[in-house]
């Protein structure tokens, strides 16, 4: 194992730990809120959260990924960080004011209208903090991100749990999220300022323009991502389908929790991919192929296993009164598989400075999503939204694949990729059939453990057969 591979492994471990604690605590908060607030209030909270999330473009504007890329390429650019920090602050404050103002006119439900400004301010602190993570990722010091994220999620969990058990209401729950985000963000920035890099304000218009010009395609990607991930819940809320928003969000939240595995692996590869693209296209292809194979190996068992165990998963986390979420989850699990498969191509475009191609791909996806949801949500509610989500991501997959082949040096199709794809698919089918025939009635955790054991055992056998065949050809 060379130094680059050791670095990737180390960063993967730190990010895995950070995202594990972050997502497990947040997921527990979400589940607890669903159980304590009830389907109606939980639907109102999900509606408010989706409305605020529609404006995520302005909270982030793609600056985190661009900052990581630019600082990883050239450490001298760290001198620009005060200006980047200032720009992020300006964007966050502008977004908070915009969301609060628009909610007065666009939201009719009084309870939702009251909590939107609280959640917008919570988002301000939550989305401001990742600019520090960009700095750490560029230096490949993900252990700091682990500490800050763990503190953030633990604080959210403790405060919101106390409120949900002893003072349960939408307003109190929202205020608990805001309080935790403020305290931890304040501590994180003070620590960063004193121990890592001195923070200051710099209104450098040249740097503002430079980073915004690089980031705007990713910002629009985030905007379109928000449209096809949040507009469905927001539209259901606008159509008065409050309970359905809760059911859909419950299914969606589990999918998003699984996607963090994909994100943390990709982020660990990102700095190495960025440097390799600049230094050696051969090394870039090698590192990228490893990322692609990992995504394929993970995609198929998640889809087959999730589809089989949908009822157990929903009932285990939310209870029988969330049974309408089961079919939605079964549909959305196919979206998860598609996202895993196109994820490596997305990062190839970013490393190749082809954000505009991503912009176009996600623009088409957002258009399909918005039109599809306007047509299908009024009649089919959360199930229509689920089918539209799958179709949207399939379209994005086709466009991202096309642009990656045309504008990046990657070569995704070869014997090795085909073998990984076929063996993963076959192993997943075997796993599904065995679990369905003999073990599906057992405890969820036990079935998941058995499924992983069967899947990787079959995969191991396929790779052994391939190696033996290769040796016989020598």
**Which residue is it, tokens 């190749």?**
352
Residues contacting residue 161 through CB under 8 Å, at least 6 positions apart: 29, 32
DSSP conformation letters of 286-336: HHHHHHHHHHHHHHHHHHHHHHHTHHHHHHHHH-GGGTTHHHHHHHHHHHH
User: CA 191, CA 197: separation in Å to the nearest integer?
Assistant: 9
> Contact, 62 vs 355, CB < 8 A?
yes
> Contact, 385 vs 329, CB < 8 A?
no
> Contact, 181 vs 54, CB < 8 A?
no
pLDDT at 435: 93
User: CA 15, CA 262: separation in Å to the nearest integer?
Assistant: 11
User: CA 142, CA 380: separation in Å to the nearest integer?
Assistant: 43
pTM: 0.76
User: CA 36, CA 353: separation in Å to the nearest integer?
Assistant: 46
> Contact, 237 vs 53, CB < 8 A?
no
> Contact, 330 vs 249, CB < 8 A?
no
Tokens representing 11 are: 């960063």
* DSSP letter, residue 2: -
User: CA 383, CA 112: separation in Å to the nearest integer?
Assistant: 23
User: CA 266, CA 137: separation in Å to the nearest integer?
Assistant: 12
Which secondary-structure segment (H or E) carries 254?
A: helix 242-279
> Contact, 391 vs 419, CB < 8 A?
no
> Contact, 63 vs 127, CB < 8 A?
no
Give how far the C-alpha of residue 337 lies from the chain's centroid of Cα atoms, to the nearest Å: 13
User: CA 174, CA 164: separation in Å to the nearest integer?
Assistant: 10
User: CA 459, CA 400: separation in Å to the nearest integer?
Assistant: 28
**Which residue is it, tokens 């096809």?**
228
pLDDT at 142: 78
Tens of pLDDT, residue by residue, the chain (474 residues): 566 656 666 776 777 777 778 878 888 898 899 888 888 888 899 889 888 988 877 777 778 888 888 888 777 788 888 898 999 999 999 999 999 999 888 888 888 899 999 999 999 998 888 888 888 888 777 788 888 888 899 999 999 999 999 988 999 999 999 999 999 999 999 999 998 888 888 888 888 888 888 887 777 766 666 666 677 888 888 888 888 888 998 898 889 888 878 887 887 787 778 778 877 888 888 989 999 999 999 999 999 999 999 999 999 888 888 899 999 999 999 999 999 999 999 999 988 888 778 878 888 888 888 899 999 999 899 999 999 999 999 999 999 999 999 888 888 888 888 999 999 999 999 999 999 988 888 889 999 999 999 999 999 998 888 877 777 665
pLDDT at 9: 64
* Contacts of range 397-403, beta carbons closer than 8 Å, 24 or more positions apart: 397/338, 397/341, 397/342, 399/360, 399/361, 399/364, 399/365, 400/342, 400/345, 400/346, 400/349, 400/357, 400/358, 400/361, 401/342, 401/345, 403/345, 403/349, 403/354, 403/357, 403/358, 403/360, 403/361
**Which residue is it, tokens 């179709």?**
391
**∠ CA 350-351-354 to the nearest 5 degrees?**
45
DSSP conformation letters of 334-349: HHHHHHHHHHHHHHHH
129: nearest Cα among 163, 156, 159, 109: 156
Which secondary-structure segment (H or E) carries 59?
A: helix 56-60
pLDDT at 120: 93
Tokens representing 386 are: 């689920």
Q: How many CB atoms lie within 10 A of CB 40?
A: 13
> So where are the chain's domains?
3-412
């Amino acid at each position: 194992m060379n130094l680059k591979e050791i670095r990737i492994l180390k960063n993967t471990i730190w990010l895995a730990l950070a995202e594990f604690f972050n997502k497990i605590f947040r997921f527990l908060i979400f589940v607890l809120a669903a159980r304590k607030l009830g389907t109606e209030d939980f639907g109102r909270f999900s509606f408010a959260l989706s409305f605020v999330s529609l404006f995520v473009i302005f909270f982030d504007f793609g600056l985190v990924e661009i900052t990581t890329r630019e600082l990883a390429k050239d450490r001298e650019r760290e001198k620009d960080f005060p200006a980047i920090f200032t720009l992020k602050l300006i964007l966050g404050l502008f977004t908070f004011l915009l969301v609060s103002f628009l909610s007065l006119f666009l939201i009719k439900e009084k309870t939702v209208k009251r909590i939107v400004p609280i959640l917008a301010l919570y988002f301000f602190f939550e989305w401001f903090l990742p600019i520090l993570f960009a700095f750490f990722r560029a230096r490949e010091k993900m252990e700091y991100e682990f500490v800050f994220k763990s503190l953030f999620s633990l604080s959210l969990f403790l405060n919101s749990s106390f409120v949900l058990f002893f003072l349960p209401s939408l307003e109190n729950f929202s205020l608990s999220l805001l309080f935790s985000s403020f305290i931890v963000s304040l501590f994180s920035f003070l620590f960063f300022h004193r121990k890592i890099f001195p923070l200051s304000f710099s209104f450098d218009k040249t740097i503002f323009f430079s980073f915004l010009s690089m980031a705007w395609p990713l910002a629009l990607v985030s905007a379109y991502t928000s449209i096809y991930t949040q507009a469905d819940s927001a539209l259901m809320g606008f159509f008065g389908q409050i309970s359905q928003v809760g059911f859909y969000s419950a299914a969606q939240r589990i999918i998003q929790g699984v996607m963090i595995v994909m994100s943390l692996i990709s982020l660990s590869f990102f700095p190495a991919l960025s440097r390799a693209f600049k230094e050696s296209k051969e090394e870039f292809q090698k590192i990228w192929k490893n990322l692609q194979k990992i995504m394929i190996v993970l995609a198929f068992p998640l889809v087959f296993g999730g589809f089989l165990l949908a009822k157990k998963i929903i009932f285990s986390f939310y209870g029988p009164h969330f049974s309408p979420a089961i079919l939605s989850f079964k549909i959305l699990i196919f979206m998860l598989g598609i996202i895993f498969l196109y994820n490596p191509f997305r990062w190839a475009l970013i490393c190749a400075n082809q954000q505009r191609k991503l912009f176009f791909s996600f623009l088409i996806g957002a258009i399909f999503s918005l039109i599809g949801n306007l047509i299908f949500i009024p009649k089919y509610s959360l199930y229509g939204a689920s089918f539209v989500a799958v179709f949207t991501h399939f379209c994005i997959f086709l466009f991202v694949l096309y642009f990656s082949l045309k504008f990046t040096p990657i070569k995704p199709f070869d014997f090795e990729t085909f073998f990984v794809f076929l063996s993963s698919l076959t192993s997943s089918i075997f796993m599904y059939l065995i679990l369905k025939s003999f073990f599906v009635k057992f405890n969820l955790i036990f079935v998941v453990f058995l499924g992983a054991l069967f899947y990787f055992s079959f995969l191991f056998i396929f790779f052994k057969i391939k190696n033996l065949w290769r040796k016989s050809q020598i």
